[in-house]
Chain A
Amino acid sequence: MTDLADLSIADAGAGLRSGEFTARDLVDAAITRAAVTEAHLHAYLTLDQDRARAGADAADAAFAAGEDRGPLQGIPIALKDNMSTRGMETTAGSRILAGYVPPYDATVVAKLQEHHAVIMGKTNLDEYAMGSSTENSAFGPTRNPWDTDRVPGGSSGGSAAVVAAGSALAALGSDTGGSIRQPASLCGLVGVKPTYGVVSRYGLIAFASSLDQIGPFTRTVTDAATMLEAIAGFDIRDATSYRGDTPDISSLLDAGVAGMRIGIVKELSGDGIDPQVDQACAAMYKALADAGAVVSEVSLPASEYALSAYYLIAPAEASANLARFDGVRYGLRVDGETTEDMMAQTRAEGFGPEVTRRILLGTYALSAGYYDAFYGQAQKVRTLVRNDFAAAYEKVDVLVSPTSPTTAFPIGERTEDPLSMYYADVCTIASNLAGDPSGSVPIGLDDGGLPIGFQIMAPALHEAQLFRVAAEVERLAGFDARPALATSEVLPA
């Protein structure tokens, strides 16, 4: 029998409702798995076993009383540690917030709890979600369950690693330039960034507010739809929350792609993409065509400038958002003669190198005399990127590309060269600039046994089309490999 820790949300839900096992059994299986894998991975920053078991018991008690709050009831779920959890430490992977215990829950956390989902704990991330490898955490890197000498991607690398390893059945991450899709790709998972505004960011520690979105990591496309349906919706406490009806997510999962118009992004194939990744994606383009889709090549000419625009816009917003971490109300304080000294000392000591670098970059890009040349120009490029997408979506229903230009890279390979690290997001960033939904689905392994991810992008609020194609890609790929760490071949720690 499959270990309970390796079930999909859908299969776990079926077993809970048939009485085959309990929520407590599921949580115990995830905790048992974590006891083996965490020594290798360091994916959790907080794993609260008592709270998880209590949550499972509450879910079981609800089932026993005939109360069923839907498909997440009793499911063990992990949260990226930039989502506020009342009574549970929330660090954003930063020294400056070590020991901080939020006095409130993020809206996504409250929603999961309303569904009687079980919160396992908090996962590691690049400090303030700034990075593509989870090596920038102040608490040490997370390793990839498929090869522990390699990164899990980032910034939501801990969330990806726990779902791949089986120490949670699903997880939430946040995606500012690819921080859900890229680690999902590198860890062989489904990861989705919904349309900007569809999921509330209330209680998410902000990085770049015009780009950040919360979304799920799961093992199947159906599970991702289930998670997204649970957390989506207007929230009065997030001023950027989308006020219209929550878009349809799951009604086309079984519709197939016959007759759909699918565009291959010309700029995201060939040069700059690892040949094995490129070939695997090319094979999937062909498979989609064979399944009845009308597949063509589409150009997004401004997209080659998207990375440069992103690395001005995101740090500019971050430099403003991170001004609040000043040693006054929470977190670290380093003494100083005056309040200004105290703040400057606290921030210098509390922030790690990548966060410091981006605050400096953003402060410079926004400062008098440089604003127009850098930030202002980047915002205009953002408009051009959006125009490219709008033109493309007149011809096609969705766009497809690799999720990441490479499979998982070795730990330490890119830490000394910020630009090479930034390039890891080259396929994912345009979708954040546009505010559109996008997702990654695993389609195979490279020669080294590392997962390859396939990206699908759709117009704003067209999640149903995104999930429709994702489900077909999942069926066509038939990806069912599991990392060695999640199987019985695990070495003792």
Chain B
Amino acid sequence: MPVEIDIAKVAKLARLALSEEELVGYGAQLVDILEHAERVGALPTDGVTPTSHPLPMTNAFRLDEVRPSLDRDEVLEQAPQRDGEFFRVPRILGES
């Protein structure tokens, strides 16, 4: 089965600002890889439960205790742009 990919849409979902040329290149590579990966469809899997995780665990709880957290200044030190005790980013809303 040939695989069709709207690569521009996938790049937008992944928040990757790729050029036209890059989109064409990655699109072709993804088709190759997915046509190979489609082999997983060849195995009969009716009634097989999917495995999302190798350990049989559901929730992992811990006691709700107060513990020290990371030093705020040390964390903010790594920010590309900070404003006092905040991370600073460009405006959130677009033009529309």
Known: A347-B17, A363-B14. A305 touches B49 (CB 8 A): no
Pick the contact of A344 from B15, B45, B91, B94 — CB < 8 Å?
A: B15
Q: Does A469 contact B (CB under 8 A)?
A: no
> Which A352-377 residues have C-beta < 8 A from chain B?
356-357, 359-361, 363-364, 367, 373-374, 376-377
User: A126-151: contact bitstring with B at CB < 8 Å (1 yes, 0 no)?
Assistant: 00000000000000000000000000
B17 touches A341 (CB 8 A): yes
Known: A340-B94, A341-B17. A364 touches B51 (CB 8 A): no
User: A310-338: contact bitstring with B at CB < 8 Å (1 yes, 0 no)?
Assistant: 01100000010001001111111101111
Q: Which residues of A contact B18 (CB under 8 A)?
A: 348, 356
User: B48-92: contact bitstring with A at CB < 8 Å (1 yes, 0 no)?
Assistant: 111111110100101000000011001101111100000101111
A316 vs chain B, min Cβ distance (A): 10
Pick the contact of B42 from A305, A339, A344 — CB < 8 Å?
A: A305
- Chain A interface size, as a band, is 35 or more
Pick the contact of B10 from A326, A329, A335, A360 — CB < 8 Å?
A: A360
Pick the contact of B80 from A332, A356, A381 — CB < 8 Å?
A: A332
A319 touches B40 (CB 8 A): no
Q: Does A284 contact B (CB under 8 A)?
A: no
Pick the contact of A308 from B26, B40, B71, B93 — CB < 8 Å?
A: B40
Q: Which residues of B contact A341 (CB under 8 A)?
A: 17, 90
B50 touches A380 (CB 8 A): yes
B79 touches A383 (CB 8 A): no
B79 vs chain A, min Cβ distance (A): 6
Q: Does A386 contact B (CB under 8 A)?
A: yes
Q: Which residues of A contact B37 (CB under 8 A)?
A: 308-309, 311-312, 374, 378
A333–B15 CA distance with the chains assembled, in angstroms: 14
Closest to B50 in A: A379
Q: Does B30 contact A (CB under 8 A)?
A: yes
B17 touches A383 (CB 8 A): no
Q: Does A342 contact B (CB under 8 A)?
A: yes
Pick the contact of A305 from B43, B51, B91 — CB < 8 Å?
A: B43
Pick the contact of A329 from B33, B38, B78, B91 — CB < 8 Å?
A: B78
- Chain B interface size, as a band, is 35 or more
Which candidate, A51-59, A97-105, A115-123, A169-177, is the interface stretch facing chain B? A97-105
> Which A84-123 residues have C-beta < 8 A from chain B?
100-101, 103-104
B13 touches A363 (CB 8 A): yes
A377 touches B41 (CB 8 A): yes
Which candidate, A34-42, A236-244, A247-255, A403-411, is the interface stretch facing chain B? A236-244
A191–B79 CA distance with the chains assembled, in angstroms: 36
B48 touches A383 (CB 8 A): yes
Q: Which residues of A contact B91 (CB under 8 A)?
A: 337-339
A330 touches B45 (CB 8 A): no
A328 touches B87 (CB 8 A): yes
Q: Does A216 contact B (CB under 8 A)?
A: no
Q: Does A382 contact B (CB under 8 A)?
A: yes
B16 touches A359 (CB 8 A): yes
Q: Does B24 contact A (CB under 8 A)?
A: no
A460–B50 CA distance with the chains assembled, in angstroms: 19
A103 touches B16 (CB 8 A): no
A381–B41 CA distance with the chains assembled, in angstroms: 9
B15 touches A240 (CB 8 A): no
Residues of A bordering B, CB below 8 Å: 100-101, 103-104, 196-197, 210, 236, 239-243, 302, 305, 308-309, 311-312, 319, 323, 326-333, 335-345, 347-348, 351, 356-357, 359-361, 363-364, 367, 373-374, 376-384, 386, 418-419, 433-436, 460
List 4 additional A-B contacts (Cβ < 8 Å) besides A100-B78, A305-B40, A319-B14.
A333-B80, A364-B30, A373-B38, A386-B51
12 A–B contact pairs at CB < 8 A?
Answer: A329-B87, A332-B80, A333-B81, A340-B94, A356-B26, A360-B14, A360-B16, A381-B43, A383-B50, A418-B29, A419-B32, A435-B54
**Which 5 pairs show the lowest CB-CB distances between chains A and B?**
A435-B54, A379-B50, A333-B80, A344-B17, A380-B45
